[in-house]
Amino acid sequence: MRLRFSLAWLKPAQAPAKAFKSSAAFSLVREYIERIGHFLPCEAGAYPAKTRSCVWVCERAKKSTAASSEDLARELQKCMNSGVQVLEIVIGGPDGFTDKDLDAMRPSFRWSFGPLTLPHELAAVIATEQIYRALTILHHRPYHSGH
């Protein structure tokens, strides 16, 4: 399986680094994508990807699941076991997603960090870190237990 973080605020031809106002936030996203790459191929880009197999949406709590790290690891394992070739994790922009957007995406999992309103760049950092954490849980690595 391959992971793709789709940044909803990124313009189609724009490089991910140019979409971040904060170079520090992009640096962290890039760091976690590199770490994820030790387990699975991973990239960041604009939404939508040309090829999608499975879509997860990362959004502010509405009808989403505020999942623990362990819950997220279980969902990721289910996805990996299902034979999905690409998992696209879509992170909303400053205005989030409309109901029409969500209907078009038909996400198989709607994931939230709770009712907090976070800047979209920070949400991207948290999403990449949590996927990395989920992979370390699944591979019994000390990252999760050591924090």
pLDDT in tens, 94-133: 888 888 998 988 999 988 888 788 899 999 999 999 999 9
CATH number, domain with residue 90: 3.40.1280.10
- C-alpha–C-alpha distance, residues 26 and 142, integer Å: 25
Q: In whole angstroms, how far apart are CA 125 and each of 8, 31, 103, 118?
A: 14, 9, 25, 11
pLDDT of 52 reads 66
Three-state DSSP at 142 gives helix
Q: Inter-axis angle of helices 69-81 and 120-138, to 10 degrees?
A: 70
pLDDT at 62: 66
Tell me if 147 is assigned to some domain: no
> Structural domain tally of the chain?
1
**Residue 25 falls inside a structural domain:** yes
For 77-134, where are the E strands, in sequence order? 86-91, 109-112
Q: Is residue 144 part of a domain?
A: no
pTM attached to this predicted model = 0.92
Please state, in angstroms and as integers, the Cα–Cα distance from residue 122 to each residue in 40, 41, 50, 94, 129, following that order: 23, 22, 25, 11, 11
- What residues make up the domain containing 117? 2-138
Q: Looking at the domain assignment, is residue 105 inside a domain?
A: yes
In a domain, 17, yes or no: yes
List, in sequence order, every residue forming a beta bridge with 91; answer none if it has no partner.
Answer: 7, 58
Residue 130 lies in a domain: yes
Look at residue 76 and tell me if it is in a domain. yes
Tokens of 33: 């994508």
Instruction: Taking residues 7-22, report their average pLDDT.
Output: 90
With respect to residue 35, please indicate whether it lies within any of the assigned structural domains.
yes
Give the single-character DSSP code of 54: E
